[in-house]
């Protein structure tokens, strides 16, 4: 399970909980997801990582499942400066995946489901998996390891330093 590291209040009535995922936890969760996917779906022809968060989980899953074809799709749905979501835009498609048949789509987290919904529409025959899922995003994923509360910000190992420097 993820460890909750801090609670900060953005507004007096809206506490924000942060969950920190360590590298060790990420690897354990990815291995657990890989085992589950292989048991239920067998080998995949390829993996599509949703950038940027899905790149590292896709690499781990690819190694664990013996899958060497890893494609990526880049979708922008957050205004980083504002931290707010807007209409998703595909800036790099995943042509090798076609309609997704035989492919696994991977992301680190499904939050609102906006990105997942768009990618699933582009590759309707693919299996969608992520390590962590929030309640609003759960309907858009086929597999996940851990559910986190909708108001929790998940801090992945590759963004923790960046996040901490913004807070200081």
- CA–CA dist 66, 94 (Å, integer): 20
On whether the CB atoms of residues 152 and 18 are closer than 8 A, the answer is yes
Kindly give the interhelix angle for 55-65 and 23-41, rounded to the nearest 10 degrees. Answer: 50
Measured CA distances, 17 to 14, 28, 44, 45 (Å): 10, 22, 36, 38
Which residue in the list 24, 29, 99, 111 is annotated as catalytic?
111
For the question of residue 136 being annotated catalytic, the response is no
Q: Are strands 103-110 and 127-133 parallel, antiparallel or unpaired?
A: parallel
Which residue in the list 24, 29, 99, 107 is annotated as catalytic?
107
- CA–CA dist 110, 13 (Å, integer): 25
Query: Which of 126, 140, 163 has its CA nearest to residue 45?
Result: 126
Which residue in the list 24, 29, 99, 108 is annotated as catalytic?
108
For the question of residue 107 being annotated catalytic, the response is yes
Compute the C-alpha angle 31/33/37, nearest 5°: 120
For the question of residue 111 being annotated catalytic, the response is yes
Q: Give the residue numbers annotated as catalytic, written as ranges.
A: 107-108, 111
């Amino acid at each position: 399970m993820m460890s909750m590291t801090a609670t900060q209040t953005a507004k007096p009535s809206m506490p924000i909980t942060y969950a920190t995922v360590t590298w060790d936890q990420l690897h354990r969760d990815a291995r657990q997801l890989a085992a589950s996917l292989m048991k239920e779906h067998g080998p995949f022809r390829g993996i599509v990582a949703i950038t940027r968060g899905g790149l590292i989980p896709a690499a781990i899953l690819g190694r664990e499942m013996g899958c060497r074809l890893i494609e990526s799709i880049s979708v922008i749905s957050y205004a980083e400066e504002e931290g707010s979501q807007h209409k998703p835009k595909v800036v790099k498609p995943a042509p090798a995946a076609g309609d997704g048949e035989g492919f696994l789509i991977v992301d680190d987290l499904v939050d609102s489901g906006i990105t997942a919904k768009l990618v699933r529409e582009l590759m309707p025959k693919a299996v969608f998996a992520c390590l962590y899922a929030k309640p609003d995003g759960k309907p858009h994923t086929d597999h996940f390891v851990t559910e986190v509360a909708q108001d929790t910000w998940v801090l992945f190992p590759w963004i923790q330093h960046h996040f901490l420097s913004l807070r200081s």
